[in-house]
């Protein structure tokens, strides 16, 4: 199972705890993880990726295994530790604003 | 009619203020959606417990919430606002073409007769509609595509469709306003539109009498006279008596005719209210005195209403959607400030008192008569 940590506002919106677990079929990439996340929690559609372009929203970042993966291709394989469920995939709200 | 519910959208959540018909004690519920910007929330005239809220942040984008029980519980509904067909371009601040990009919902206007039908005014300016209670939204593309859309330019707050007025005597007629494009009208429920800006003069634009390009801040009408419209423009308070076909200035003796909200007394169609603001570069009341101005003559002659409002060292603003009236026999008038106060009057504005204080900056106020 893939583990995903969400920022506080999205946890409230999706009515979930800090971490959710997802069953991702096939290769584990940003796209397949987020597709699975949105399929399980449709209320999150449009909040992490733009509805139309499917691009990451500008003030969000994707971290895993102490690396910033935000600028990686959405179709690049995520680290094996994420794919195995040993490490979570982190969706982070940028530390800016009021 | 047993009471009033005042729906307050703020920079950091929604608040619901309720009182009985006396309106002397208010219960404050909230924050709902704490930490999120609530640009607007409004109840259905056809079902007072059906509420819709526009929730968003720069981080997570747009959410639409719906309540079926007067705001006690909420459910998120569809948040997909996709422009119909090729989005095209409008003018950017430097005059170059800029693609239409959805940013947020500024205003939600439920149908007068169907709780499942709601119009949404969005940035970049367009009109959307749901007919299934928010499960899906579709653009009414006739507005952006009627012919002047490519000339629209954003105001300082963005290219926002912020005002939607449904004619209570003819629901196929709808008036809308866009900053900084102007006012528009449809007579066929949103299929086709035309600009209604004849008579507006805006010195800040190259052609002060242009068909579009005017920064209209708010429009209001009285349900008994839907052909009479009152407008707070960037500068100037205006009036139309022919459904927007022509406008004339009624700023009269206002200390400044810059401001954002304008509203009409529920039972007196010639009694209107504005909150003068010093200037477009100084968004606070003149002389540090928060004064609502009332005209009982549909404009031209205005009187300041000050009792109960701060008359020194007050530098808040009152935003365009932050004034509303109830329809109890003694019409209640409400407005919210960027300082987090919500003031109410039950005597036509002669006196005011805060009904909520210390809230986040208020973005919108809507009164429901229960």
8-state DSSP, B89 = E
Nearest residue of B to residue A92 by CA position?
B59
Domain ranges of chain B: 46-214
Do B316 and B339 meet the contact criterion of CB atoms below 8 Å apart? Answer: yes
- Could you tell me which of B153, B299, B157, B317 has the C-alpha nearest to residue B236? B299
What are the pLDDT digits (tens) for B1-23? 589 999 999 999 999 999 999 99
For residues B319 and A49, what is the distance between their CA atoms, to the nearest angstrom?
31
Establish if B80 touches chain A: CB-CB under 8 angstroms.
yes
Averaged over successive runs of 10 residues, the pLDDT of chain B (370 residues) comes to 92 98 97 97 98 96 98 97 93 93 97 98 98 98 94 92 98 96 97 97 88 96 98 97 98 98 98 97 97 98 98 98 97 98 97 98 98
CATH architecture of B46-214: 7 Propeller (2.130)
- Best residue of B13, B59, B82 to probe chain A, by most A CBs closer than 10 Å: B59
- Shortest distance, CA A47 to any CA of chain B (angstroms): 4
Q: Residue B87: its pLDDT value, please?
A: 83
Residue A96 has pLDDT above 70, yes or no: no
Q: Residue B139: its pLDDT value, please?
A: 98
Residue A97 has pLDDT above 80, yes or no: no
Q: Residue B346: its pLDDT value, please?
A: 97
* CATH 3.10.20.30 describes domain A2-93: yes
> Considering the entire predicted model, what is its pTM?
0.96
Cβ distance of A13 and B82 shorter than 8 Å: no
- Shortest distance, CA B153 to any CA of chain A (angstroms): 23
Q: Residue B156: its pLDDT value, please?
A: 87
Report the b/e string of B152-179 with b at 16+ CB within 10 A.
Answer: bbbbeeebbbbbbbbbeeeeebbbbbbb
Q: What are phi and psi of B135, to 5 degrees?
A: -70, -25
- Best residue of A38, A44, A47 to probe chain B, by most B CBs closer than 10 Å: A47
* Count of beta carbons in the 10 Å neighbourhood of residue B358: 8
Nearest residue of B to residue A52 by CA position?
B82
Q: Residue B353: its pLDDT value, please?
A: 98
What are the pLDDT digits (tens) for A49-95? 999 999 999 999 999 999 999 999 999 999 999 999 999 999 999 87
For residues B368 and B49, what is the distance between their CA atoms, to the nearest angstrom?
10
* A89 beta partners: A4
By three-state DSSP, how is residue B287 classified?
helix
Half-sphere exposure of B84 (CA within 13 A, CB side): 15
Q: Residue A18: its pLDDT value, please?
A: 87
By three-state DSSP, how is residue A8 classified?
helix
Establish if B82 touches chain A: CB-CB under 8 angstroms.
yes
* B239 beta partners: B230, B248
What are the pLDDT digits (tens) for B302-345? 999 999 999 999 999 999 999 999 999 999 999 999 999 999 99
Distances (CA, A) of A53 to A46, A56, A80, B107, B124: 10, 9, 27, 25, 17
What are the pLDDT digits (tens) for A31-46? 999 999 999 999 999 9
Contacts of A3 (CB under 8 A, 6+ apart): A19, A20, A21, A22, A82, A85, A87, A88, A89
**Locus of tokens 């449809």:** B186
- Could you tell me which of B91, B156, B164 has the C-alpha nearest to residue B127? B164
């Amino acid at each position: 199972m893939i583990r995903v940590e969400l920022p506080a506002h999205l946890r409230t919106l999706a009515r979930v705890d800090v971490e959710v677990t997802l069953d991702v079929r096939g290769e584990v990439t940003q796209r397949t993880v987020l597709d699975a996340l949105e399929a399980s929690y449709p209320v999150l559609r449009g909040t992490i990726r733009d509805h139309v372009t499917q691009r990451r929203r500008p003030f969000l970042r994707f971290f895993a295994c102490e690396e910033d993966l935000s600028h990686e291709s959405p179709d690049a394989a995520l680290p094996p530790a994420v794919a195995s469920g040993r490490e979570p995939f982190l969706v982070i709200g940028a530390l800016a604003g009021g | 009619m047993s009471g009033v519910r005042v729906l307050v959208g703020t920079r950091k959540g929604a608040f619901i203020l309720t009182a009985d018909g006396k309106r002397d004690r208010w219960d404050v519920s909230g924050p709902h959606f704490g930490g999120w910007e609530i640009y607007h929330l409004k109840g259905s005239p056809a079902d007072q417990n059906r509420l819709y809220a526009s929730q968003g942040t720069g981080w997570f984008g747009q959410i639409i919430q719906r309540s079926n029980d007067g705001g006690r519980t909420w459910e998120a509904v569809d948040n997909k606002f996709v422009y119909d067909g090729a989005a095209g371009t409008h003018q950017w601040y430097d005059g170059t073409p800029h693609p239409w990009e959805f940013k947020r919902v500024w205003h939600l206007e439920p149908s007068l007769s169907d709780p499942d039908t709601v119009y949404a005014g969005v940035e970049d300016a367009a009109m959307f509609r749901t007919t299934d209670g928010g499960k899906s939204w579709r653009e009414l593309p006739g507005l952006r595509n009627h012919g002047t859309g490519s000339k629209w330019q954003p105001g300082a707050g963005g290219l926002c469709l912020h005002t939607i007025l449904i004619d209570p005597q003819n629901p196929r007629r709808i008036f809308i306003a866009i900053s900084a494009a102007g006012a528009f009208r449809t007579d066929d429920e949103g299929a086709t539109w035309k600009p209604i800006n004849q008579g507006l003069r805006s010195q800040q634009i190259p052609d002060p009498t242009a068909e579009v390009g005017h920064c209209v801040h708010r429009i209001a009408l009285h349900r008994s006279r839907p052909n009479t419209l009152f407008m707070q423009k960037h500068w100037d308070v205006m009036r139309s008596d022919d459904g927007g076909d022509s406008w004339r200035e009624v700023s009269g003796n206002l200390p400044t005719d810059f401001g954002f909200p304008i509203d009409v007394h529920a039972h007196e169609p010639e009694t209107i209210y504005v909150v003068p603001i010093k200037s477009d570069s100084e968004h606070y009341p003149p002389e540090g005195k928060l004064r609502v101005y009332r005209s009982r003559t549909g404009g031209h002659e205005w009187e300041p209403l000050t009792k109960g409002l701060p008359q020194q060292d007050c530098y808040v603003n009152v935003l365009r959607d932050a004034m509303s009236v109830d329809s109890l026999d003694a019409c209640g008038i409400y407005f919210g400030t960027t300082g987090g106060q919500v003031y109410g009057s039950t005597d036509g504005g002669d006196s005011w008192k805060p009904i909520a204080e210390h809230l986040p900056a208020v973005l919108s106020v809507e009164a429901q008569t229960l």
